[in-house]
Structure 1
Amino acid sequence: MIGRILAVGLAALAAAPAGAHDFGFAGLMSASNREDLADLTLASGKPVAAAPYELKSGGFYRIKLVADGSAELALSGGDFFRAIWINEIVINGIEIRPMGVHSIEFDEAGEALISFVAVVPGSFTLSIPGSSGESQRATFTIR
C-alpha cells in the first residue's frame, strides 16, 4: 500500500509542467522567487520612479521608499495596496506586519522597505496626493 502511494506521488511530481518552480521550504517567499525593485523617491520636484514596474502575480518583491526630507510627502494608492499581500514594512529596523495600508507619509528624511507578494493582475499607481504630474506617481502592472 505504501509503495502504491509513493508511486502515485512520484508520478504526480513527474507530471509537473515543464518550468514549474520549486519554491523550496519558504514557498512563495523563497530567495529564488524574490526580486528587488528600483527605489521609489520622495523628494520635492523629483520623479517618484524612473520607469513603470512590471510584476508577476505570485512574485515576491521588495521595494525601498526613500525620502530626502525636502518636503512632507506621501505615497497613496489603496488599489495597489489591495492588489498585493504585504509581508512587512521595515522602518528603522522595526518590522511592521500590517493588515492593510492606504498610504505612507514621510515628515522628514528616511527610508521604508516594503516586501510583498503581487496578487491581483491589473495596472495600479502609487502617487503623491494632490499632485497631477506624470512624474509624481509610480505605475505597477501585475500580470
Structure 2
Amino acid sequence: MKRLIAAGAMALIGTGAMAHDYGFAGVLSKTNKEEMPGITLSVGKPIAEGPITLKSGTLYELEIEADGSGELGLEGPGFFRAIWVNEVVVNSIEMRPFGMESVEFDEAGSMEIEFLAIKPGQYFLRIPNTTGETQRVDITIQ
C-alpha cells in the first residue's frame, strides 16, 4: 500500500500537477511585487499626488518621507486592517509587527512598510486631526 501511495505521489509530481506559478517565495516573491507611489509628510504640502489603486494579493513597499518641518503622523486604521504587514524598516532596522494603526515622525526621516494588499475596498491614510484634501490620500484595493 505504501508503495502504491508513493508511486501515485511521484506520478503527480512528474506531471507537474502539484506545481504552482507563485515563484520562489509565493506571494512574497519579487515577481509578485509592484511599485507604489510614496508619501511625503511636510507642513502645508500635499502628502501624495492623487488617489492610489492597489491589487489584492500583490506585495507593495510604501516609502514614507518626513522633511522635519513639523511633528507629523499618518493614520489609517481601516487601511492597516486591510493589509498584512510583512516588515517595517526604520534606520535599517527591520521590524515585523503584528499590526499597526498609525506612525509618527518627530523629526526628518524615512520608513518603508512592505505589505500584502488583502481586503478589497476604499481606504485612506491621512495626517491625524486634519480635514484638508491634500492632507489625505485615498487608497482603493481592488
TM-score, with normalisation over the residues of structure 2? 0.89
Moved over 3 A (4+): 1-9, 11-14
TM-fit CA distance, 1:7: 3.9
Query: Matches of residues 49-128 of structure 1 in structure 2 within 5 Å?
Result: 49-128=48-127
The amino acid of 1:5's aligned partner reads A
TM-score, with normalisation over the residues of structure 1? 0.88
| Structure with greater Cα Rg | 2
Q: Percent identity?
A: 50
The amino acid of 2:128's aligned partner reads P
TM-fit CA distance, 1:134: 1.0
Aligned to 1:40: 39
Q: Is 1:5 equivalent to 2:4 in the alignment?
A: no
For 2:7 and 2:51, the matched residues in 1 are separated by: 52
CA RMSD in angstroms comes to 1.7
TM-fit CA distance, 1:11: 6.6
For 2:39 and 2:87, the matched residues in 1 are separated by: 17
- Relative to 1, partners in 2 of residues 1:12 and 1:75: Cα closer, same or farther, differing over 3 Å? same
For 2:26 and 2:73, the matched residues in 1 are separated by: 32
TM-fit CA distance, 1:12: 3.4
The amino acid of 1:78's aligned partner reads P
- Relative to 1, partners in 2 of residues 1:3 and 1:63: Cα closer, same or farther, differing over 3 Å? same
- Alignment coverage as a number of residue pairs: 137
The amino acid of 2:9's aligned partner reads I
TM-fit CA distance, 1:58: 0.6
**Structure 1: gaps of 5 or more residues:** 15-20
Of 113-122 and 49-58, deviating more is 49-58
Aligned to 1:17: none
For 1:119 and 1:53, the matched residues in 2 are separated by: 15
**Structure 2: gaps of 5 or more residues:** none
Of 29-38 and 4-13, deviating more is 4-13
TM-fit CA distance, 1:96: 1.1
TM-fit CA distance, 1:8: 4.1
Deviations 1:92-133 (A, max 9, x none): 001111111111000100000000000111011011111111
TM-fit CA distance, 1:51: 1.7
